[in-house]
A and B are shown apart, each in its own frame.
Chain A
Amino acid sequence: MKNHEDHISSYTLNLKVLLILLILTTISILAVKMHLGTFTVTLALIIASVKVTVVLTYFMHLKFENLLLRLMVGGVFLLFAIVIVITFIDYYFR
Chain B
Amino acid sequence: MSTTEHSEYIDSETGKLGMWLFLFTELFLFGGLFIVYAVMRSKYSEDFHHAALELNAFIGATNTVVLLVSSMTVAMSLTAIQKNQSGKAVGLIFITLLLAGIFMVNKYFEWGHKIGLHLYPGSDVMKTLPHGEIMFFGLYFMMTGLHLLHVIIGGILLTIVMLRLRSGKINYEHYLLHENGALYWHLVDLIWIFLFPLLYLIT
Which positions in A face B, CB cutoff 8 Å?
A: 1-4, 6, 8-11, 14-15, 17-18, 21-22, 25, 28-29, 32, 35-37, 40-41, 44-45, 47-48, 51-52, 55-56, 58-60, 66, 69, 72-73, 76-77, 80, 83-84, 87-88, 91
Contacts and interface: CB of A to CB of B under 8 A. Distances in A.
B194 A72 contact: no
Nearest to A51: B193
A67 to B, nearest CB: 13
B28 interface: yes
B93 to A, nearest CB: 14
A10 B190 CA distance: 21
A9 B193 contact: no
A46 B189 CA distance: 17
Contacts of A55: 71, 186, 189-190, 193
B39 A1 contact: no
B24 interface: yes
A15 B72 CA distance: 7
Contacts of A73: 20, 24
CB-CB nearest 3 A-B residue pairs: A44-B197, A18-B72, A3-B12
Interface string B1-16: 0000000111111001
B148 interface: no
Nearest to A87: B35
B124 interface: no
Interface centre among B61, B76, B197 (most CB of A within 10 A): B197
Contacts of B193: 48, 51-52, 55
Interface string B178-203: 00000100100110011011100111
Given A3-B173, A72-B20, 11 more contacts: A3-B174, A14-B75, A14-B79, A15-B72, A17-B72, A18-B69, A22-B68, A25-B64, A80-B27, A84-B38, A91-B39
